[in-house]
Amino acid sequence: MVAIARYMNVTLIVPLFDNGTYWNDNRPREKAGIRSATLFIGPINYASLRYYNQWALPRILKRGVLRFPLTDSRLANNGLADEVQKLRCRANYEALRFTQPIEETGERIVSLLRQKGPFMVLHLGYEKDMVAFTGCTQGLTKQEIQEVTEMRYSYKGWKHRGIDPGSKRAHGACSLTPEETVLVLQALGVDRNTTVYIAAGKIYNEEKRMANLAMAYPNLIRKEHVLNASELRPFLHHNDQMAALDYIVAVESDIFMPTYGYGNMGRAVEGHRRYLGYKPTILLNRKLLVSLIDGYKKGTLSWDEFALLVKKTHENLTGKPARRRTAPDHPAFEDHFYSNPYECLPPFIH
């Protein structure tokens, strides 16, 4: 949005955070005070700058103000001048800052973790609302499936049509379950004594679903374990602020591994770590992994075969220099700009 506003030479009024759609956080917010005088613009995603010049700017000049109800994925990933892409990077990685309490608390978590040595951040996309939103039900009981399905249908704007979880999982469109994640970590050779920080909200049926992970990696830790209650109390009932703390820790970690490839946080952290010098990020090939995991569980692959294939598959998927995958006719399926802002990175990768 900063790049769009700069291109049109208009003032950008920073919007309120949309807490209700994904964060399940609907506390009252102050009204903007301009609703009755505002012209709304529909959610046009991955638009070119020409679109904003020909469609949006005339409306701003006529009405004086234009309100965007959604602000993510508003600008195309590709086909823009390098100077525009670099402005996006400067805004995202240099200008934008969390509030001072969030910054200080996030850095304190990092400092306390560093006292124990190197640490890995595991971004588990397995909160109840995420399971419900995606419709991915691998490993759930019939009662749990009914519970998360009812939750999905109860939210306005979420997909209320049937979802084929088996097909979604086979295409790599589901987060790995905590149990599947354990197998991947072990296959990749992550030492059991590694400090593994969990960047996530409350995991769905946490005691049961996290048991294998906790047993395999006893140094499993969360912000609730690092900070004392008084330090964390100001953020406890603000899901977006709790996620911001995890973001800071994830960016600063020695290794980062997201288990869900379509989440905004995972992609944003990936890009930020590239921007900071290609800090190691394990980018999981979930489509292949679920096939390998199923093969191992069915006995068609031995552990050694399974581990070798997992390592071989991911030896170059560590956030190293690369170009984004493009799909001009289907931009939603492209690599997101913020996951790999290569126009802002050292020129040798061009």
Intra-chain end-to-end CA distance of the chain, in Å: 25
β-bridge mates for residue 121, sequence order: 197, 256
Q: pLDDT tier at 5 (50, 70, 90 boundaries)?
A: very high
E strands present in the chain: 39-40, 66-67, 119-123, 195-199, 220-221, 255-258
Please state the rounded mean pLDDT for residues 307-326: 94
> What does the pLDDT read at residue 43?
57
| Residue 341 CA neighbour count, 13 Å, CB half | 27
> What are the Cα distances from residue 282, in Å, to 40, 285, 288, 332?
40, 9, 14, 22
| Cα distance between residue 278 and residue 305, in whole Å | 30
Please state the rounded mean pLDDT for residues 89-98: 93
How confident is the model over 220-268, as pLDDT tens digits?
999 999 999 999 999 998 999 999 999 999 999 999 999 998 888 999 9
The mean of the pLDDT values for the chain is 89
| Cα distance between residue 276 and residue 315, in whole Å | 21
**Interacting residues of 87 by C-beta distance below 8 A, sequence separation 6+:** 2, 3, 6
| Cα distance between residue 156 and residue 41, in whole Å | 20
Using CA atoms in the order 250, 252, 253, 259, what is the torsion angle rounded to 10 degrees?
Answer: 20
DSSP state of 101: H
Q: Which amino acid is at 179?
A: E
Report DSSP letters for 119-147, one per residue: EEEEE---BHHHHHHHT--TT--HHHHHH
Q: To 5 degrees, how large is the angle CA 251–CA 255–CA 261?
A: 75
Task: Write out the H or E segment, with its range, that includes residue 260.
Answer: none
| Tokens linked to 42 | 């529909």
Residue percentage of the chain with pLDDT more than 70: 90
Q: Is 250 helix (H, G, I), strand (E, B) or coil?
A: helix
How confident is the model over 42-79, as pLDDT tens digits?
658 899 999 999 999 999 999 898 888 777 788 999 99
pLDDT beyond 70 at 12: yes
> What does the pLDDT read at residue 29?
41
pTM for this model (two decimals): 0.90
Please state the rounded mean pLDDT for residues 189-205: 96
Q: Are 41 and 70 in contact (CB under 8 A)?
A: no
Q: Are 226 and 113 in contact (CB under 8 A)?
A: yes
